[in-house]
Chains A and B, each alone.
Chain A
């Protein structure tokens, strides 16, 4: 019996994109359902009653929530293709540690386009520190996973389509500060699974403008 896979998501969400990349890596077909977070659907509320957030993966009717938990689930169920986590326990712990670390970028990034003045400057500093640390972790490897695209690559790459928006509102250049990381993101974009899952940076920029208006930031 064929698997039924549904993804509840928001087009601009870098967390949702992580799941899209993982599904594409495994060559899986799924139904994408765009969610309106201002008017949450009964399905979203039923499938994620605890956090009421996206992304939610629904596999044969059963929900899995939290993007990195979903990615790990996908990796474990469809383990026979494009493994994302390494097999060695120590390397797995390292991958999980750094993926957990990338979650910091989400909150800091938000402050970059939501906050002003000193708060924004602090967020910018914190954001760049995170990216530099991650760039250090990448080193000279093609991917964070080593020779192959892996779990940490999935965790981080979706932030790259948000870089233009962050740079624009934060007034800085990611490439100037972290050239190796930008080179890595371009390398990832050569993969079909990534380029088909990430959104156009200009559209993301437009999305942020809209959000700022809505939240009365301008």
Chain B
């Protein structure tokens, strides 16, 4: 019996995009459902009653929540193709550590750049953000991917932020390429992959989205 896979998502969410990349890496067909977070659907509330957030993967009627937990689930169920986590336990722990680092740091710090009014908070946010990216760039080293020779778990966790880079740069008034050229080279390398280019949103559309949200919150 064919798997029924439904993804509850919103198009600008870098978290949803992680799941889309993982599904594409595994060559899986699924139904994409755009959610309106200002008017949450009964399905979303039923499938993620705890956090009421996207993404939610619904596999044969059963929900899985939290983007990197979903990615690990996808990797374990469809383990015959494009493995995302390595097999060695130490390397797996390292991969989970860095994906967790991206989660703990990048999103919240990035928010300060885009959503706060100009001033000290934004400057601090920008400094911290660049520090995080530099640390990640050092972790990448001279490898083509964070997963080594192959695109892997940490690559999935981070690459989706790259379509938000233009927005961070624009509001923070800085250039990520100047600060972290190797990281930008890595994002371009990832975008050569169909699974990534077909899953990430257009950076200009993201910028328009952020601009619209800022107006809505009275920041612009």
Residues of A within 8 A of B (CB): 50, 59, 62, 64-66, 69-70, 72-73, 76-77, 89-90, 92-93, 96-97, 100-101, 133
Q: Are A101 and B50 in contact (CB under 8 A)?
A: yes
Q: Are A62 and B62 in contact (CB under 8 A)?
A: no
Contact of B89 among A73, A93, A96, A100 (CB under 8 A): A73
Q: Are B89 and A69 in contact (CB under 8 A)?
A: no
Q: Are B76 and A89 in contact (CB under 8 A)?
A: yes
Contact of B93 among A64, A90, A133 (CB under 8 A): A64
Q: Which residues of B contact A90 (CB under 8 A)?
A: 59, 62, 64, 73
Q: Are A93 and B93 in contact (CB under 8 A)?
A: no
Q: Which residues of B contact A66 (CB under 8 A)?
A: 96-97, 100
Q: Are B69 and A69 in contact (CB under 8 A)?
A: no
Contact of A100 among B64, B69, B76 (CB under 8 A): B69
Q: Do A76 and B89 contact each other (CB < 8 Å), given the known contacts A65-B97, A97-B65? A: yes
Q: Are B73 and A93 in contact (CB under 8 A)?
A: yes
**CB 8 Å contact bits of B89-130 with A (1 = contact, 0 = none):** 110110011001100000000000000000000000000000
Contact of B69 among A59, A62, A77, A97 (CB under 8 A): A97
Chain B's interface: helix, strand, loop or mixed, by majority?
A: helix
Q: Which residues of B contact A59 (CB under 8 A)?
A: 90
Q: Are B72 and A93 in contact (CB under 8 A)?
A: yes
What is the chain B residue whose CB lies nearest that of A78? Answer: B89
A81 to chain B, nearest CB (A): 15
Cross-chain pair count, CB within 8 angstroms = 52
Q: Do A64 and B90 contact each other (CB < 8 Å), given the known contacts A93-B73, A97-B65? A: yes
Q: In the bound complex, how far is the Cα of B100 from the Cα of A100, in angstroms?
A: 11
Q: Which residues of B contact A93 (CB under 8 A)?
A: 64, 69-70, 72-73
Q: Do A72 and B76 contact each other (CB < 8 Å), given the known contacts A93-B70, A100-B66? A: no
Q: Is B185 an interface residue (CB 8 A)?
A: no
Q: In the bound complex, how far is the Cα of B93 from the Cα of A50, in angstroms?
A: 15
Q: 8 A-B Cβ contacts within 8 A?
A: A73-B90, A77-B89, A92-B76, A93-B69, A93-B70, A93-B73, A96-B72, A97-B65
Contact of B77 among A65, A73, A89 (CB under 8 A): A89
A30 to chain B, nearest CB (A): 16
Q: In the bound complex, how far is the Cα of B93 from the Cα of A62, in angstroms?
A: 11
Q: In the bound complex, how far is the Cα of B96 from the Cα of A93, in angstroms?
A: 14
Q: In the bound complex, how far is the Cα of B65 from the Cα of A46, in angstroms?
A: 34
Q: In the bound complex, how far is the Cα of B104 from the Cα of A65, in angstroms?
A: 14
Q: Is B213 an interface residue (CB 8 A)?
A: no
Q: Which residues of A contact B76 (CB under 8 A)?
A: 89, 92
Q: Is B45 an interface residue (CB 8 A)?
A: no
Q: Is B219 an interface residue (CB 8 A)?
A: no
Q: Which residues of B contact A92 (CB under 8 A)?
A: 72-73, 76
Q: Which residues of A contact B77 (CB under 8 A)?
A: 89
4 nearest CB pairs, A to B: A76-B89, A89-B76, A93-B73, A73-B93
Q: Which residues of B contact A133 (CB under 8 A)?
A: 50
Q: In the bound complex, how far is the Cα of B64 from the Cα of A50, in angstroms?
A: 30
Q: Which residues of A contact B65 (CB under 8 A)?
A: 97
Q: In the bound complex, how far is the Cα of B66 from the Cα of A100, in angstroms?
A: 9
Q: Which residues of B contact A77 (CB under 8 A)?
A: 89
